[in-house]
Structure formats: C-alpha cells, structure tokens
Amino acid sequence: MSDVSFDAAAAVSAPRTRRRARLPVPVVLALGWLALMLLVAVAADLLSPFPYTALDLRNRLSPPVGMGGAWLHALGTDELGRDVLSRLITSIRMSLLIAFGATAISAVLGVTLGFLAAHFRGLVEQAVLALVDFQAAMPFLILALAVLAFFGNSLPLFICLLGLNGWERYARIARGLAVSAGSQGYAAAVKGLGASPWRVYGRHVLPNIASTLIVSMTLAFPEIILLESGLSFLGLGVQPPMTSLGNMVGYGREYLTRAPWILLAPSSVIVLTTLSVSLVGDWLRDRLDPTLR
Amino acid sequence: MSVNDEPLLHAQDLVRRYAMRRGMFGRPAEVRAVDGVSLTLRRGQTLGLVGESGCGKSTTGRMVLGLEVPDSGGVAFANERMPAPGTPAWRRLRARMAMVYQDPLGALDRRLDIGTQVAEPLEIHGIGTRADRPVRVTALLRSVGLRPDHARSFPHELSGGQRQRAVLARALATSPDLLVCDEPISALDVSIQAQVMNLLAEVQARTGVAMLFISHDLRAVRQMSHRVAVMYLGRVVEEGEPDDVLHAPAHPYAQALVSAIPHPGRRGGRIVLKGDPPNPAARPPGCAFHPRCALAAALCAREVPVLKPRASDRRLVACHVAQGEVAPGAGLPQPAMEAA
Amino acid sequence: MLRFLGLRLARALLTLVLVVTFAFVVLRLSGDPALLILSADAPPEAVAAFRQAWGLNDPIWQQYLRYFAAIFRGDLGQSMRDGRPAVELVAERIPATLALTLPALLMKLGIGIPAGIYAALHRNSFADRAVMLLAVAGFTVPSFVLGLVLVLVFAVQLGWLPSGGQENWRHAVLPVLTLGIGGAAVLARFTRSAMLEVLGQPYMRTALAKGVPWARAVRRHGLPNAAIPTVTIVGFMVGSLLAGAVVVESVFSWPGVGRLLVVAVANRDLAVVQCILLLVATTMVSANLVVDLLYGVLDPRLRAAPREATA
C-alpha cells in the first residue's frame, strides 16, 4: 500500500523537484544558518566552553579573537569575566525556546478560536471577531508591558504572554478557510456522512489548511524573536540569572564604549536569525501559498 | 398495504426563507427559496426534481436530508420526524441517507486517498471491524465499477467519472435507504453522463435504495425517475409519471422545458420564454410564472394556483389555465383577451 | 453612509470598552489592590480603611461601573511614586514623544512611499533590489540594535552627535533616524507590493492598451488604487505616534511617554501604566476610525459591504 502511494506522491511532486533543484542562494544560506542555530540550541550544553555563569576574574572585559583577544575566550568576556560565547549559546537556546513556545501557543489559540467561530457562527463568531479587531488595533508591545506591570514576571508567564501575539492572524485564516470548506465541499460532505465536529476539523479541515498555517507561523516567528529581545532588552523580559539574546544586548549596552563585542555578538545573531526566517518564510509563501498577501 | 408500499420519506409543506440585504441602505428582503413543497418517496423508487437554477431544488434536497432545517413544514423519514442537525440521533441517521454531489472533486478531501475516504462512513458509524474494512472497501469500489487499486489513488489522480464513482461508493458504504443526488452528472462529460446514470440505476436495482434525483436536465430525469416533479420559484408546479409529463406537459412552464429539449425530426414549436429569469427576491403576485407565461390571464396575476389533481387525468398541476379555471389568455402584461 | 459611520463608531467604542475591561480585569486578577498600593506589611486597620474608602468590599459589578465612571471623568488615579495624578504625569511627557515620532513619521512617509513606488515601477532593476534588500534589513534589525549601532558609529566613533538625553535638536537626530529607518523600510516593502498588485490588474493593462501614456496611467489608476492598502499601515503608524517609541526612548534615555511606561512597569506603578494603556488605545482607535472613513472615500465598494473589509 505504502509503495504505491509513495509513487503517486512522487509523481505529483516531480515537476516541483525540478524547481527545487534551483533553490535561491540566499534561501540556502538562510536554511544553513537556521540549522546551525537549531543545532546550537539543542546541543548548547555540549558546545559551550564554560558554564554561562562562570566568572573568570583575571580575564575581565577581554576582547574577542581578531580584536586582540586570546582563543581562551573566542568572543571575549564581559565585566565579570563571563565568557561571551558561552552566554551567547545559552541565550540562543533560551530565545529559540521562547519563540517556538510562543509561536505554538498563538497558533493553537488562533486556530481553535477560528474553528469555534466557523463552527458556531452567530454570537460566538461575532465575539471572536471583536477580539480579533481589538488585538489587531492595539500595539502588542503596550499590551504586553501592561500585563507584565500587573502580573510581574516569570518565564512561563512570559512565554504565554508572547503566545498572545499574532493569534488573530491564525484565527482569521482558520475561520475563513473553515467557513469556505464547510459551506460547500469536503467538510460539508464529511459532516453529511455523520462525522463529529472533532473529526471534521481535526481529520479534514486542519490538514487541508496546514500549509497555509505553517507559512504564517514562519512569517510570525521573527516578530516573536524581536518582541522577546525587545522586552528583554528593556529589562522586562527574561530575568537574570537567566539570559536571552535581548538580555545580553541590554547588558552590553552599558559597555558600549569599552566592550562593544558584548553587544555586537548577540545583535548579529538576532539580525541573522530574523533575516533567515523571513527569507525562508517569504520563499515558502511564494512556493506553497501564493494566496497569502 | 404492504410494508414496502409505505412511503420512506414524506416532506410536508417545506418552506425555507433567507434574509437578504441589497446594498447597505436596502432593508432586509425575505427570499423564499422554497415555498411550500411537499414530496413523497417510496422505497426503491426515484423521484426526479427538475427546474432551472435558483428554483430551490437543491435547498429542497438539503432539507429532505436534514442538512438544513425548514422554517416551516417538516420531514418524516421512515415514519419518524427528522431530528435536529448535530444531535446524536441526527448523526446516526446519516448512515441511512447519503448525498451525491455535483462537484465530486470538491466533495472529496484531496489529502486523503480514496480507500480511506470510502472507509470513513464505516469508521464514523462503527460498522465492521478495522480488520475487515479493506475487504469492504474493495467490494464497494468494485460495486461502483472502480478497481481495488483505486483505493490508493488520490482524488486529483482520477477522472471526473471515476471521482463521482468514488463519491457514490462512499455514499453507499453504510447501505443507506435514501440517496439524494444533486445534479450528479451536470459536471461530467456528456460521454460519461450515461455511464454514471446507468450505474445509479444498476445500484438501485441491486440495493433497492430510494433516490431523489435533482437535475435541470429533463431527459436525465425521465431516464432515472419513477415520478417527476417540476419546480418553479420554490414551488412544485407539476408532478406525474415521467412519460406523461414529458409527452403531454400540463403546466405552461413544463411545456416550455419540454419544448427546449432538442429533438431530431421536430421542427419549430419551440416555446421561448419571454421576460426575465425568475428572481426569488421579487416573487410576482399570483402565479409566479405569469409574467413569462404566454397563456396567462387576469386571474393568474391575482390568485396563486394550488397543486391539485386535474379533472381529466388526475395529473397534479398548479395552473389556473390547465385546471380549466380560466380560459387561456394571451399572456400578461399585454391586455388579456378573453376568448369565449 | 450614515449607517457605515455609525457601524464604525460602534466598533471603535466597543474596542475602547474592551481595553477598559481588560485593564479592570487584569488589575483585579493581579492581586489585592489594597495590599499592592499600601504595601504588604501595612497594618490591618489601614487596609480595612482603604478597602472601605475605595469601595473594594462592594460587589464586583459595582466596582466595574464605578471604574468606568471614574475613567469617564478623567480620573485615572495617582502615581504610586509621587502621588501626582497619573494623567498629569503622562500628559507632560507627550510633547517629548511627539518631538521624536512626528519627524520620524514624516521621514517614513517621505522615504518609504517614494522608494516603494519607485521599486515597483522599476521592478527587478538594481534600484528595486537595493530597496528590497534595505527594506528586509530594516524589518529584521530590531530598533534597539539599530539605535545602538548608530550611537556606536556617530556618537562613540565619530563623536558628531550626542548619544542620549534631551537638550537640543542634535539630541533628537539619532532617535528620529532610528525610528524613521525601520518604519520607512516597512512602508517601502508594503507600498511596493501594493503597487505591484495594482500594476498587474486588468484595468491598468486596459489603460495602457488604449494608448494612455505610462506615467499618466500610473497617476490616474495606479496610485489611487495602491493607496488603499497603504493607508492602513500609515494609519497604524499614526496611531502609534505615542506608543511606537518605547524601545527607542529607552535606548536614548529620552524622557517621553515610552520611557515613562517602561519605568512604571518596572516599578509596577499601575495607575500610570493603565493611563498610558488607555491613552494609546484611544489614539489607536481614533486613527483606525479615520482610516476606515478614508477607505470609504478611496474605495466606494467598501461602503456597500463594510463587513468584507475586515473579514
């Protein structure tokens, strides 16, 4: 059974494979960078030369290799002699963890609300749409700051809070596609066979809109990274002794004149990562789903 | 009266209204998509429902299946009231009635293979065990003229006729008593249409399933049906045996439909309808057909004709002229000529 | 048209009610206001007196209504730091913020829109590629990184401009540049895609096929139609005139509303946070209302089907 369907799938994607051979160079570079980041995040403990909180008081503010520094601390150290490379590796893991967690939360939340709106219509739909308008109308940074002011900060709360960013886009997409699938077509047909809503949405609608959702998640990912690093930079996100990319930049700002490397290393990682995800997202959108924007 | 003569399905005075707003200043207008339709269907029989698009025949089909709730009137299936949509009773009933769609590609999930989709009603209704489902699927595919290996194909890999066969196999999986076929052949190639119609007739002969066959194609309906109902603007205007309706239509609208069928050897005599195509939002008073009717008399613009048996041959027809209640006029809005 | 206006106004008010409710709910969920404001080790009599004075013992819906009434009167409570009315504290920071965001808005419009149009009209040219590259860079570089890099180059290395504070116009140059570059990039990218979409439309091809000169077709048909989506994002930028500089004000120690917000959040000065939240929401909602009305002027179709525009 599997071999035949595999052949069928291969036959369908055959014309695509030919185009995939000519992957644009920037996309290849972006994918390479993202693979490296994922590897760093997963293997952070193996890769970092020092514990990220370890002090080396004899080598405080030592510059990185290339600016007169030694290989012992390849990216230099900070005011307390903590190894910038080790801190960077730990920060990458933390920032990616937050970004993945928040993206997953906002996708699940948005899709659920979108499906609820599409399924119940009427008042439920109006309520969801009012929430969508509200969310779209408010700058999220301000809302996030307000919540942090009222509730204080902790890592799980922070991830959930960032997970509230951008759910309205998934909700719009899920509602729109579910409504059109439900009014005519496969979803209506399956419903007519007596399927429960769980089956209709879980087994049929969700897999059919998955590619659109994945593309939107890719496009939203850089936003979450920027938001996290922005809040952490302001000192309102990830709290010490934990560290994230934005956190490092915020700390390094104090040493802008004396030790710019503390700030430049995490800054370049943020920029390269968001740039890579954006490039891959744009490419995916053009390939998989030209209907988005 | 034996058990088999009892009607499987009885729909009484179905009415379905939609609110429609024209422009942002317009007051919401009420559109009566279906306006008092009654149907009776016996086991193993086919009722054909004919009419042009927008006459409410698809809405009628959806109400008969219980997919849509009538605003008034009701549907009884096997002598039981249709339960409300979404309830467990309603969901169980889905195993006993199924639908065949106009667009088979749209009705199939393009991400699942045909075998999975044909097996889905079995899973939903818990029929058979997981182990014997492949056997059942194979039998179902064979019964609609597909090969067992089509189970592994995806919808886009099949031809239009094959997709419609797959939809039919899925519909038949639970051995339903009623099949509503909504324009099942109009999206298919002419060469394929006859095959699918033969298949439907063959399935009926084998399984004894009752069918509501909805189409705008009078010839297809005649070939398939034991009875024919002609709809115009949400109402049944004529109902009878297919051959009778086709050879001697009583309602002027049915006459126009019949005359529009291309017929080798026949010349002239084609009735061309005048006036605008019907708009359900602006239903004319009296007989809804009167503005386009060549025989309309003054009474037709005033009084709604009732569907009732004609005195001469008991044919059900809703027309003042055909019932002999008024002499044929020369059509409105031209001044009606009262002939003696 | 009246119906359209009324519908829009109702939605704007609904959004504001939602924001106020959000503030109320979050405020009540975050803990006992008496303990928060009086500090946890306040004597029990003081807490009881406070609860009595602020009606915290009344049913929650009465508190909710009273909260609404107070906001209606413009009474948003006092800052916990110095006891001054929160409204006053926020109001005196507004000019400083506008001194950054207004020039930055002009810069975004003045650079972003022409660059986007130019890139679209010369698609795939060198200029187009350069604009797009800069636009993507502008979008992916966070404002604090851009700001700090500008400081590093122009203040630390070259010593041309001050790195922070607010004394004369020279202090405003770097923050305005930071805000303007990022926004211009977003706007250029958006304008370009809106313009490209319009250029591909049948009416543009028809106009050109009829022999209308290229420049005139772009002026008559292209620009007005591309303006419709662009107005949305410009509206968002106008709406965030007060809120859009939170990070940049912090980078440059600029004493504006955003800086006040960050400090208030760090100190959990709830009255001030809530006041800024409502201020930002009101600005944003008003800007959106204006955008909706502009839509009505620019695109007569939307007047007929208001729901389609947002769904």
pLDDT at C165 over 80: no
Average pLDDT over residues C232-256: 84
Look at residue C113 and tell me whether its pLDDT is greater than 80: yes
Element (H, E) at C221: none
Question: What tens digit of pLDDT does each residue of A101-146 get?
Answer: 999 999 999 999 999 998 888 888 888 888 887 887 778 888 888 8
What are the residue ranges spanned by the domains of chain B?
A: 46-67+88-227, 236-323
Best mutation target among A193, A199, A206, A212 (most B Cβ atoms within 10 Å) is A193
B170's tokens: 């899925």
User: What angle (nearest 5°) sits at the alpha carbon of residue B212, between those of residues B207 and B213?
Assistant: 100
Do the Cβ atoms of B23 and C304 come within 8 Å? Answer: yes
Q: C4 and chain B: CB distance < 8 Å anywhere?
A: yes
Give tens-digit pLDDT for A200-238. Answer: 998 888 888 888 888 888 878 888 888 888 888 888 888
What are the φ and ψ backbone dihedral angles of B181, each rounded to 5 degrees? -105, 110
How far C229 CA lies from chain B's nearest CA (Å)? 22
Non-local CB neighbours of A34 within 8 Å, separated by 6+ positions:
A273, A276, A277, A280
Q: Categorise residue B318: left if φ over 0, alpha if ψ from -120 to 50, beta otherwise.
A: beta
- A279 vs chain C: nearest CA distance in angstroms? 9
Higher-pLDDT residue of C97 and A62 is C97
- Put simply, the answer to whether B110 touches A208 (Cβ < 8 Å) is yes
Domain ranges of chain A: 27-292
CB neighbour list of residue A272: distance below 8 Å, 6 or more residues apart = A33
- Region C246-264: what's the mean pLDDT? 87
User: What 8-state DSSP symbol labels residue B155?
Assistant: G
Q: Which residues pair with B210 in a beta bridge?
A: B178
Q: What pLDDT does residue A110 have?
A: 93
The pLDDT of C82-106, averaged and rounded, is 87
- Supply the Cα-derived Rg of chain B in whole angstroms: 22
C188-228 pLDDT, tens digit each: 888 888 888 787 777 777 887 787 777 787 777 777 777 77
Is the Cβ pair C264, A149 closer than 8 Å? yes
Per-residue pLDDT, A171 = 92
* Residue C244 with chain A: CB contacts under 8 Å: 139
Tokens of C158: 């070259």
3-class SS at C58?
A: coil
What are B37's strand-pairing partners?
B14
Bigger pLDDT: A66 or B135?
B135
Element at C44 (helix H, strand E): helix C44-53
- The reported pLDDT for the residue numbered B201 is 93
Counting every residue written for chain B, the total comes to 340
Reading the block at residue A73, the tokens are 């601390």
The CA distance from B121 to the nearest CA of chain A, in Å, is 6
Task: Round to whole Å and give the CA distance between C308 and C289.
Answer: 16
3-state secondary structure of B12: strand
Residue A289: predicted pLDDT: 58
* B25 chain-C contacts, CB cut-off 8 A: 3
Average pLDDT over residues C278-300: 80
Q: What is the dihedral of CA C274, C277, C280, C284, to 10 degrees?
A: -130
Please name the residue that has the structure tokens 């514990």. A51
Q: What is the pLDDT of residue B262?
A: 75
pLDDT, residue B339, reads 38
DSSP state string for B50-91: E--TTSSHHHHHHHHHTSS--SEEEEEETTEEPPPTTSHHHH
CATH no. for A27-292: 1.10.3720.10
Q: What is the pLDDT of residue B114?
A: 94
- Each residue of A140-179: pLDDT tens digit? 888 888 888 777 778 888 899 899 888 988 998 899 888 8
> Which of B58, B100, B109 is the best residue to mutate to test the A interface, defined by the most A CB atoms within 10 Å of its own CB?
B109
Residue B336 has what pLDDT? 39
Q: What is the per-residue pLDDT for B28?
A: 65
Residue A14 reports pLDDT greater than 60: no
ipTM, 2 decimals? 0.81
| Interval C18-51: pLDDT, tens | 888 887 887 777 666 666 666 666 677 777 777 7
| Res. C14 pLDDT band, cuts 50 70 90 | confident
DSSP conformational letter for A107: H
Q: Is C306 within 8 Å of B24 when comparing Cβ atoms?
A: yes
Report the alpha-carbon distance of residue C266 to residue C243 in Å, rounded: 17
DSSP structural state of residue A83: B
pLDDT at position C305: 42
Looking at the complex, does the CB of residue A184 fall below 8 Å from at least one CB of chain B? Answer: yes
**Looking at beta carbons, which residues of chain A come within 8 Å of B116?**
none
Comparing CA positions, the residue from C99, C98, C143 lying closest to residue C279 is C98
- What pLDDT is stored for residue B61 in this prediction? 92
B80 alpha carbon, distance to own chain's centre: 22
**Tokens 């027309």, located at residue:** B319
Cβ atoms of residues B93 and B77 within 8 Å: yes
DSSP of C173-216, one letter per residue?
HHHHHHHHHHHHHHHHHHHHHHHHHHHTSHHHHHHHHTT--HHH
β-bridge mates for residue B319, sequence order: none
Query: Taking a C-beta distance cutoff of 8 angstroms, is the pair B76, B83 a contact?
Result: no
**Which residues are bridge partners to B308 per DSSP?**
B317
- Name all chains with 3 or more CB-CB pairs below 8 Å to chain A: B, C
Read out DSSP for B237-300? EEEE-HHHHHHS--SHHHHHHHHTS--TT--S-PPPP-SPPP-GGGPPSSSTTGGG-TT--HHH
CB spacing of B25 vs C306 below 8 angstroms = no
pTM of the model: 0.78
pLDDT band at A4, cuts 50/70/90?
Answer: very low
Q: Which CATH architecture has domain B46-67+88-227?
A: 3-Layer(aba) Sandwich (3.40)
CA distance A175 to chain C (A): 9
Residue A229: its pLDDT value, please?
87
If you average pLDDT over residues A84-100, what whole number do you get?
89
Tell if the CB–CB gap between C4 and B24 is shorter than 8 Å: yes
Q: A41-45, B276-280, C170-174: which range is least confident on average?
A: B276-280
Q: What is the mean pLDDT of residues C253-263?
A: 88
- pLDDT digit string (tens) for chain B, length 340 residues: 444 567 899 999 999 988 765 554 556 677 888 988 999 999 999 999 998 887 888 999 999 999 889 999 899 998 889 999 889 999 999 999 999 998 898 899 888 899 999 999 999 999 888 889 999 999 999 999 999 999 999 998 999 899 999 999 999 999 999 999 999 988 888 888 999 999 999 999 999 999 999 998 888 888 889 999 999 988 999 999 998 888 889 898 998 888 887 776 665 567 777 766 777 777 888 888 888 888 888 888 888 898 889 888 888 999 888 888 888 877 665 443 333 3
